[in-house]
Chains A and B, each alone.
Chain A
Amino acid sequence: MSNAQDSRLNTNFVEQGARKRIEYVLDSGSMRELVTPFDRVISPWLEVQGIVPQFDDGVVVARGAIDGKSVIAIAIDGSFQGGSLGEVAGAKIAGALELAVEANQAGESIAAVLMFETGGVRLQEANLGLAAIAEIQSAIVALRKLQPVVALITGPVGCFGGMSITAGLCSYLLMTREGRLGLNGPQVIEQEAGVGEYDSRDRPFIWGLTGGEQRYTTGLVDDFFGSDVIEVRNKVQEYLRKGVPDTFRSEAIQSSLDRLKNVDTQHQITSEAAREIFAKGASL
């Protein structure tokens, strides 16, 4: 697939669509999309609710090479339904990862790169979105033992809901300054817990807690860098070359429990306090 000329001049990764993001991280000319828009597998649940569908359901899956190594690359399109996952979008991700597990078990060598731009479950397909996320998570836990699974959160949407849990399962988690990572979206927390707990309109506050820089400083992600496409591409290559890590972030059980049991919860937390709490214990 060739580049459209206008976006070739634009080198900010954050501004690229899902298909273009994959094209930028893959070795030139190696991208082969699976279940393309021309396969017309649209959501079976949106039209009946009066919602205009998109031909790729907001997820692009492709095989290709990075640095000469075979990979499956998956990108969520944050501009369609907020990057939310419904049945088809979720099945594209889970199914591709399941095939990658199968191929690796059969002796092939295929790593994974995931580009998240998602609010989590698509509420119009609620339980099927949630089910698909569980299936994606299962596949990642199986695949990361065999191959590096590199996840990238660059923004503008960020990575929320059940997919933030998915991000926490990956071998390596990379963010840019524009990226945000959190379980519950700001509005949901404000609705559930009140504006005193979480002010969804206070952008500096939210960025301070969930933005890429804070997540890196608190050890919840592996790297933090700028959003120039060359830089993003180099970082993805660098982490793929690291291979399967000795341990995963999700296995730091004892140190996490020790740290969390010693938090002063009498006072509300700040981003500075969070940094101190993480600086005290062993890094995750």
Chain B
Amino acid sequence: MDTFHIVRPARKAPINQTLVGYVGSGDLEVMIDNSDSPQADIYIHSSSSAGEQRWLALIERIEANQPLPMMRMDIHDFSATPGVIRLRLEQALEQALTKEASYE
């Protein structure tokens, strides 16, 4: 298991506590919570061998659509594919930014 802490510039936006996914084979859980720091703090636990660069690339791809909100994001990854990771990240951000507080 590898752990990474990635810090990204972020915009000020109201967010809801959000949790999507689960830590089962080929999947991941993504949790978004409020944070006092003026940035996006992303903490990653991953059982895959992909390094920090791949995570950074994935996050940059998501940022291309819209900048991240100020938040704390935790990712618990059980060897998910990049496609699944991207889906979960987008799902989590969408819920955090648009819906009422929700997790399942």
Write out the residue numbers on chain B whose beta carbons fall within 8 Å of the beta carbon of A1.
101-104
Quick one: which of A52, A77, A79 contacts B45, CB cutoff 8 A? A52
Q: Which of A2, A7, A54, A77 contacts B99 (CB 8 A)?
A: A2
Cα of A38 to Cα of B22 in the assembled complex, Å: 14
A contact face: mostly helix, strand, loop, or mixed: loop
- Which listed residue, A3, A7, A47, A55, touches B31 by the CB 8 Å rule? A55
Contact of A52 (CB < 8 Å), options: B76, B101, B102:
B76
User: Which residues of chain B come closer than 8 Å to A47, judged between CB atoms?
Assistant: 1, 45
Q: Which residue of A lies closest to B27 (CB)?
A: A79
Whether a CB of chain B sits under 8 angstroms from the CB of A20 is: yes
- Asked, given contacts A1-B104, A7-B104, A17-B104, whether A55 binds B24 with beta carbons under 8 Å apart, the answer is no
Q: Is B41 in the interface zone, CB < 8 Å from A?
A: no
**Majority SS at the chain B contact face:** strand
| A53 close to chain B: CB less than 8 A | yes
B102 near A55: Cβ-Cβ < 8 Å: no
Q: CB distance B29 to A20 under 8 Å?
A: no
What total of chain B residues lie within 8 Å of the partner, measured CB to CB? 23
A54 & B77 in contact (Cβ 8 Å cutoff) = no
Cβ of A9: which chain B residues have Cβ within 8 Å of it? none
A residues within 8 A CB of B31? Answer: 37-38, 55
Interface presence of B100 (CB below 8 A): yes
Q: How far is the CA of A163 from the CA of B90 in the complex (A)?
A: 37
Of the residues A20, A50, A53, contact of B23 by C-beta under 8 Å: A53
CB 8 Å contact bits of B66-104 with A (1 = contact, 0 = none)? 000000001011100000000000000000000111111
Interface residues of B (CB under 8 A from A): 1, 17, 19, 22-24, 27, 29, 31, 33, 45-47, 74, 76-78, 99-104
List, sorted by A's number, 19 A–B pairs whose CB atoms are closer than 8 Å: A1-B103, A2-B99, A4-B104, A19-B103, A19-B104, A20-B104, A37-B29, A37-B103, A47-B1, A51-B47, A52-B45, A52-B76, A52-B77, A53-B45, A53-B76, A54-B76, A55-B74, A79-B27, A80-B23
